[in-house]
Each structure stands twice: as structure tokens, then as C-alpha cells.
Amino acid sequence: MAAPAMQQPSYLLANLKMDSTTKPFLQCCQELVKVIDDYPAKELHLIFPWLVESVFGSLDGVIVGWNLGFLQACSNQYNIVMDFLNPRYGPMMKLVYKLQAEEYKYEIPVSFLPGPVKVSIQEGVLPDCPLLNNKLHFPLSGLQTLSLALNPFEYYMFMFASSLITPKVTIVLMFSLDSAYFVLVDTYLKYFLPTEGSVPPSPFIYKRGSVSPPAPRAPSVPFAGYGIHSASLLKRHISHQPSVTADPAAQEIWRSEALLQVFVEMWLHHYSLEMYQKLQSPQVKLALLQYRLSMSSMLCQPLTPPGSGTLHTYQPFTPTEEHVLVVRLLVKHLHAFSCSLKPEQVSSSAHSHTSPLEELKRVVVHRFVQQKLYVFLQHCFGHWPLDASFRVVLETWLSYIQPWRYTGEKTNPQTDQNKGVPEKWLNKCVCSENLLMYTKLFQGFLNRVVRTDLVNVKNALMVFRVAKVFAQPNLSEMIQKGEQLFLEPEHVLHHRQHRCFLSPGHGGSFLSARQPVVTDRVFRVKSHVYGLEGQDCQYKQMFGMELRGTVLKLIQIIDQARQTAKKMSDQSAEVAANNSFMSWFGMGSPDLNYTFNGGEVDDTGACVKTHEFLERSLDYLCQIFRLNAGQLSQLMATLGSGQDDGNSKQLPDCVQGENGLILTDLGRMQVINGLRRFEIEYQGDPELQPIRSYENAILVRLFFKISSLVNERFGGHMDALCSRPDFLGQLGRHYLASPEAAADGRCRSPETRLTAERYRRPRLSLRMLASYRTLLMLLLLYLFGALFSLGPMSSTLLILTGGFLYGLLRKCRFLPK
């Protein structure tokens, strides 16, 4: 390749674009490495957006990029990609630092931000998003063309994070946990948020010195506040941002904070429109109205009500399983990062001597993650399908509420599964400062479980997982203490109203001026709840009477599902045993669809059946809510009194409506858990049933036309005949009434009265003559008649006479029905 000084930047970009389409992948990467090493930042600045888009894909999903989420370790390109994007020595990160030293900026349209952030910005409200501070500019053309000006490191991480949630236009393969993207997320987290040691300094030094954080600047246009805090918090954050001449450790830690802010905002700042409206306090709406008045006068545009122009454009977001898996990886690493804080740095007396990295460890979970993760999980609990894929959301939640699992200490899960919460965590405010994470989301889980098929082993496993976690010793007591602190009378706090406390997730950089240390746990738990749910929230106690009733209802459902699963498991075992015996004679059934494979691996690696999971779940729930054996047996006896031995023979619980049977809530639960069911049969016009494989299609249509003509012409005579109470009426009902009406008259599934009466009128049906079985039988009878020298007419007459006598004898009770 030619020397850098001899080639124009536009020509360089054109060459790289052409090479990417014509040359092999390895050769393209090698040439990119050479370009990054040889060319100055002034020329690399022009190819950087194209290169990042080629790797991670475009924000609109048209360009797929390198498909990192689907690049497996077995691929030939895997090692090349991982080396190229490595944060320690990779050429891509070298390019980022090279451009960072020159303080270049790259724009991201606001339209590609998460929905709540985009809508609030377009309404003139500054979201609680430190990543956006000092990066927004208002054009005179309006708010719809806003963009973010990011430095090279922020731009790179933004594109990397957004590639996970950007819908792809083209069809892609399945995402896996050993893909390049998942491994890169883990690598970046471990490199920039290390659990041991400090963040490695930038390995690339240029003429201007080491790479430093961007210098602060005042915002060009003020924003209204967002959330429950005023805009003064933002000003305080800006005024205390680190300068370029700050401590060297602080200069290096800005990359860790920037990466964390990008990941949190892009992956967790997603929720429904209702939640967006809920998070806007009256103070925010007043500030928004004042701001829009000033903007409308400045731009000479008519004023529109707040939210009227943008709320209708809010697009609901549905996370994918891959998205939630990456969020769980982030949560687990942040717990490990926070738990790696040195014991001597935990106490408040040592705060003034902590390094920036240790300070970040102390506040990372509560200030950066808690609020947005809570809203994200609450959105998933309310909108995720009622199937087994909810397991990824469940495990993310359980990972967050058990930070003691990620302390780095090696433990044996089989020996420590009953030890509960470690003693050193009992004195911490884990449950009180995360109270809603335990109680509110547990209530959301209960609302899902009562509508789930618990006979499914994967659903039963989820109930078992949650019950086992909450049944850990000391955890219930910690949650109850947190609820007691929250329920303290309000007058206790009146003398502290002058104190300022920021709820988690608000405040900006951890390097900003420290807030007063609040030692009162009552004040902390109230600030946590009101910060996430608002001042007007109606808190429902986890151990209160209302939720206890829901738990008792769940116990009934679990016990019913346990009995059904146990019965199905026993039947499956019997069928499997019979098949194994009959297979010796070649008579085993090849169809295994009827078997009940209700087994799943538990935490210890053992295969457990569905009813065993449910039995353990019942035990754990009794431990959590302190239900003794007498209460449980009484509850089960009450449940069993409403059932009988012929449970599977009964219809689900229904009420009679104007148009037929209507399922009650109990009936829906019985159907979902397989306790009772309707005998599903065709209840329409028997003549209009789909043509079966054992019927001749031509004859079915021919006989239908013949019988329709006869029924239309002689329908009145048939009704008169079948309505007679004498012997002729009985004989007419035998030959002319529909089989459904003559059987037992019992309703097998919901149907309207008009439909049932219409299809039970007497009629002539010749469809049975189109069956291949009937045709074969008639053929054999005609052949049998030919052996006795009987002609077709004689054989037909004998067949009709025999059929008439057969029906006559059955009506006279001489033959069994």
C-alpha cells in the first residue's frame, strides 16, 4: 500500500470499501491493521464511522456487519475477530485511542436512542442519563433532528451495545452464549471494570500524551429536569466533572464509567409508555411546559400540549432472550466488581482516601443500575409470553437479588445450598435498599405463575427456583425488616426533611461532589421506594394478608398440578414397562408421543421430575410464609373435598350463559393444569364435516346432494314422524335422528343452544355409504349373493330388508345397542 502522504482520505476510504467486498476476510483485516498503524488520525477520522458500521452493523439494521452474535468459536474467522477487537492490544481499540487523543466527535441521531430517552428528548426533557450530558445541541429546525456528539470511545461502545438490540433486516442465525459478541461483552467488562487490580492505562501513547477524558463544557440550551429531581443536580454534576489535568487515576477511570453508562442506557432504558408517563412527576411536567413556551416563542411556532406530538410515536420494545442473557452477564459482573471492594474501604470513614476505582465499586450497582434494571425487569414480568422462555428473565432477577453469590469465594453448591445468606451480609442494607426488587417483583412473579401450566416441567422448575431462593435462611427476616423500616410513621422523618438524598440511578458521575452520608436506614428505604414508584405509590406488603391469600391460591394450584403430573408420570412408567415387555415379541408401540417425559436437571445436576419440583416448591413456600403442616393439610383437604375420583371424567367448572357454557376462573385453572377438559368433538352439521381419508370424496358430495334434496322436500314429514310417541315414531327417530341426539344428549364442549337444536333435527344421511369400509362390506355381500345365484336387485332387496329388521329388533330390545 502506498505511503500515507501520497493518498487522499477519500481515496483511502473508497479503496477500503472495495477491498471489503472483493478480498478475503483475513486479508482485509491485515490491511486494516496496516492502515491504522501507518496513517495519521486526520485521515483515519474519515474511515472510522464506516469501519465501526462494517463491524457492528448500521443503526437501522440494513448493514449486518460481522454478525458477532452468531460467530461461533468453531469458525475460522473467530480468532481473527477477537484479536482485532481485543481491548488490550487490538487494532480497533488502538484506532479509538488514536482518535481520542485528537478529540474528534461523531454524531448519533437521537432517533436511534432507546424509546423513553428519545421521546423525552423530543419533548425537551433531559432524561436521567449521564451519557447525554453536554452532548446535545438544539438546531433551529426543531427537536426532531437532534443528535449526540460522542467522542471516539463512546461512539465505539455505543455502536457495539446497540448492535445487540437493533432489529436486523436480513435473516440471521441463532444467538449462542459462546458467540463472539457474548465473549466480547465479558472481555470488555473484565478489562474496564476489573475485580482485581486497577484499570490498565491506555497502551498507546502519542505526541499529545496519553488519552484523556473529554473536557467539560456548558450546555448550549438548558433542559427541563427528568424524574423526581430538579435540573440543579445536572448543573452540580457538570461543575464537578474531572478536568483533563485531574488525577491520573481519574483520567483512566473515565473509560470504565463511559462503558458502564453506554451499556446501562442502551440495554436497560426500555419500558412501556405507561411507565414513561408514570416516571414524569408534576414538577417535570411544569418545567416542560415552561420550556416549550420559551422554545415556541424563540422558534415562532405554535405551542402544543406536552407529549401530544410525540407520545403517539412511542414504539413498544420487546427484549429478546439474547438481550436478557447479556443483561444477566452485566448484572453478574457488576456484583462481582462491587463485591471486590476492599473491606477497609467499605466503612464511611475511609471514603476520603479511596481511589476512583474503589469509589466506583462502592456506588456502581445502586447509582447506575438499580433503577433502570428494576423498570426493565418489571416491563419483562408484565409483557413476556407465558412460556418457558421466561427463564432467562427469572435468572437475571435472581442473580441481582443474590449478590453474595458473586463474592469470588469458591463454594460447593451441594454443601452450601442450605446455609442461606452469609453472616457478613446480614448487617448490610441489601434487602432494605433493594426492597422493591424482592417484594414487588415477587408479586409480579406470582401473578404470572397462577396463569401458567405448572404440569410443564420447565414452568415447575421456575417455581422451584424462586421458592428455593426466597426460602434461604435469614432472607425472609431481612425482607421483613426492610418492610418494617418502610412502614415507619412519616412523622419520624419530619426533622430530617432538609437533608438531600439521591435515589439510586440519579446523580451522574461518581466523581461528582459527594452527597451527605445518610445513615438512617428508614430514610434510605423510603427514598428507594419513592424514587422507583413515586410519592403516591401504594405499597403492598410481601408478608401481608392480601399477598398471603394469593400464595394460598398458588399452593392449591401447585398441589393440583402435582397430582396431575404424578398421575401422568405413573401412567407413562406403566406404558414404558409394557412396551419394554411387548418389544420382545415385536409388538411394542413405535409411537412415543403419549409418554410423559417430565424430567429436568436441578441445581445439583440431578434429573428431577415435575411432581418432585412441585413438592419441593410447596415445602419452600411453607417455610417462607410460615405455614405449618396442619394449615397445609387443611388447605389440601378443602381442595380435595371439591373433587372426586372421576376428576378427569368431569367437565371444567362452568356457568350456563345465554349462548352456552362459560368457563369460570376455577375452570380456566383446571384446563390450564390438565385437571379437567372438554371432550372435544365435532358439533357442527354432521353432513359438512371434512372429508376423511377413509371416505370417497366424489361419493360424499353426491350423497350429500341427494340427501339434501330429500330432506328439503320431506323434512316436514320426517319431523311429524319422529314426533310421534308410538312405535313408528321410535323407529323413525332411530333411522332419521342425528347420532349426537340419539347418543346421550350430554354437552361435551361449549356450544350455543340454537346450534345444538339446529343440528339435532331429523334428517336422512347417506354419507355412511361413501365410506370405503361400507363399500367393501356391500361388495362382499353382493359377491356372497352371487354365489347363491342372486341378482343385484335381489341382493339389494335382501340387504335393505336385513337392515330394517336389524333396526326393528334393536328398538324392540332384542339386540344390544
pLDDT, residue 115, reads 79
Spell out the long-range contacts of 377-380 with Cβ–Cβ below 8 A and sequence spacing 24 or more.
377/437, 377/441, 378/271, 378/275, 378/440, 378/441, 378/444, 379/270, 379/271, 379/272, 379/275, 379/317, 379/319, 380/319, 380/324
Cβ atoms 13, 43 nearer than 8 A? no
pLDDT, residue 394, reads 96
Cβ atoms 126, 223 nearer than 8 A? yes
Q: What is the pLDDT of residues 708-761, one digit of tens each?
A: 898 888 888 888 888 888 877 877 777 776 544 444 444 444 555 555 555 567
Mean per-residue pLDDT for 671-688? 72
Q: How far is CA 737 from the centre of its chain?
A: 53
654 to 353, 434, 650, 662, 677: CA distances (angstroms): 70, 43, 11, 5, 11
pLDDT, residue 398, reads 96
CA dihedral in degrees (606, 612, 617, 622; nearest 10)?
Answer: -120
Least confident of 52-56, 159-163, 221-225: 221-225
- Give the span between the Cα atoms of 270 and 372, in whole angstroms: 8
Among 375, 687, 350, 603, CA closest to 504: 375
Among 666, 686, 667, 651, CA closest to 766: 686
Q: How far is CA 73 from the centre of its chain?
A: 27
Among 165, 122, 437, 436, CA closest to 308: 122
- Give the span between the Cα atoms of 646 and 634, in whole angstroms: 22
Question: Dihedral sign, CA of 321, 327, 330, 334?
Answer: negative
Among 100, 103, 101, 71, CA closest to 84: 71
pLDDT, residue 341, reads 85
Residue, of 233 and 507, whose pLDDT is higher: 507
pLDDT, residue 238, reads 31
Coil vs helix vs strand at 474: coil
pLDDT score of 565 more than 70: yes
Instruction: Find all residues with CB under 8 Å of 100, minimum gap 6, and list them.
Output: 151, 152, 153, 211
Residue, of 570 and 289, whose pLDDT is higher: 570
Give, to the nearest 10 degrees, the angle between helix 152-165 and helix 248-268: 20
DSSP string, 649-691: GSPPSEEEETTEEEE-HHHHHHHHTTS--------S-GGGSPP
- Give the span between the Cα atoms of 810 and 500, in whole angstroms: 92
By DSSP bridging, strand 660-663 and strand 147-150 are: unpaired
pLDDT, residue 490, reads 61
Residue 226 CB-density burial (10 A; 0-12 exposed, 13-18 middle, 19+ buried) = buried
- Give the span between the Cα atoms of 167 and 174, in whole angstroms: 14
Per DSSP, helices labelled H in 57-179 are: 78-84, 91-100, 115-122, 152-165
Q: Which amino acid is at 68?
A: L
Q: Residue 143, Cβ neighbours under 10 Å: how many?
A: 18
pLDDT tier at 637, thresholds 50, 70, 90: low
Question: Dihedral sign, CA of 592, 593, 594, 597?
Answer: positive
pLDDT score of 119 more than 80: no
Coil vs helix vs strand at 28: helix
By DSSP bridging, strand 654-657 and strand 607-609 are: unpaired
- Give the span between the Cα atoms of 700 and 226, in whole angstroms: 71
Name the helix (H) or strand (E) containing 516.
none
Q: What is the pLDDT of residues 510-522, one digit of tens each?
A: 444 444 433 477 8
| Grid coordinates belonging to 14 | 473508497
% of residues, the chain, pLDDT over 90: 27
Q: Which amino acid is at 80?
A: I
7 to 33, 39, 717: CA distances (angstroms): 17, 10, 101
Phi, psi of 107 (to 5 degrees): -95, 140
Among 764, 796, 771, CA closest to 782: 796
- Give the span between the Cα atoms of 754 and 191, in whole angstroms: 72
pLDDT score of 7 more than 50: no
Residue whose cell numbers read 339435532? 760
Residue, of 813 and 319, whose pLDDT is higher: 319
DSSP string, 410-434: ---HHHHTTT-S-GGGTTS-HHHHT
pLDDT, residue 504, reads 40
Q: What is the DSSP letter of 514?
A: P
Q: Which amino acid is at 682?
A: Y
Coil vs helix vs strand at 239: helix
Question: What's the CA angle centered on 262, arms 259 and 268, to 5 degrees?
Answer: 125
Question: Dihedral sign, CA of 742, 748, 752, 753?
Answer: positive
By DSSP bridging, strand 607-609 and strand 599-601 are: antiparallel
| Grid coordinates belonging to 812 | 324392540
Coil vs helix vs strand at 107: strand
Mean per-residue pLDDT for 446-472? 93
Residue 562 CB-density burial (10 A; 0-12 exposed, 13-18 middle, 19+ buried) = buried
Mean per-residue pLDDT for 700-712? 89
- Give the span between the Cα atoms of 45 and 472, in whole angstroms: 55
Most confident of 116-120, 142-146, 275-279, 714-718: 714-718
Question: Dihedral sign, CA of 79, 82, 88, 94?
Answer: positive
Instruction: Find all residues with CB under 8 Å of 746, minimum gap 6, and list them.
Output: none
- Give the span between the Cα atoms of 190 and 2, in whole angstroms: 38
Question: What's the CA angle centered on 223, arms 217 and 229, to 5 degrees?
Answer: 105
pLDDT, residue 5, reads 42
Cβ atoms 616, 468 nearer than 8 A? yes
pLDDT tier at 168, thresholds 50, 70, 90: confident
Q: What is the pLDDT of residues 523-544, one digit of tens each?
A: 888 888 888 887 778 889 998 8
Q: What is the pLDDT of residues 337-352, one digit of tens each?
A: 999 887 765 554 445 5
**Strand partners for 206:** 209
Residue whose cell numbers read 461532589? 513
Residue 429 CB-density burial (10 A; 0-12 exposed, 13-18 middle, 19+ buried) = middle
466 to 340, 381, 398, 402, 471: CA distances (angstroms): 26, 14, 8, 12, 8
pLDDT tier at 332, thresholds 50, 70, 90: very high
pLDDT, residue 2, reads 41
pLDDT tier at 423, thresholds 50, 70, 90: confident
pLDDT score of 293 more than 70: no
97 to 103, 211, 808: CA distances (angstroms): 10, 6, 99
- Give the span between the Cα atoms of 313 and 299, in whole angstroms: 23
Cβ atoms 561, 455 nearer than 8 A? yes
Q: What is the DSSP letter of 16?
A: H
- Give the span between the Cα atoms of 369 and 344, in whole angstroms: 24
Q: What is the DSSP letter of 364?
A: I
| Grid coordinates belonging to 396 | 437475571
Instruction: Find all residues with CB under 8 Å of 250, minimum gap 6, and list them.
Output: 242, 356, 511
Cβ atoms 135, 214 nearer than 8 A? no
Among 310, 361, 370, 311, CA closest to 338: 361
pLDDT score of 67 more than 50: yes
pLDDT score of 606 more than 80: no
Residue, of 205 and 409, whose pLDDT is higher: 409
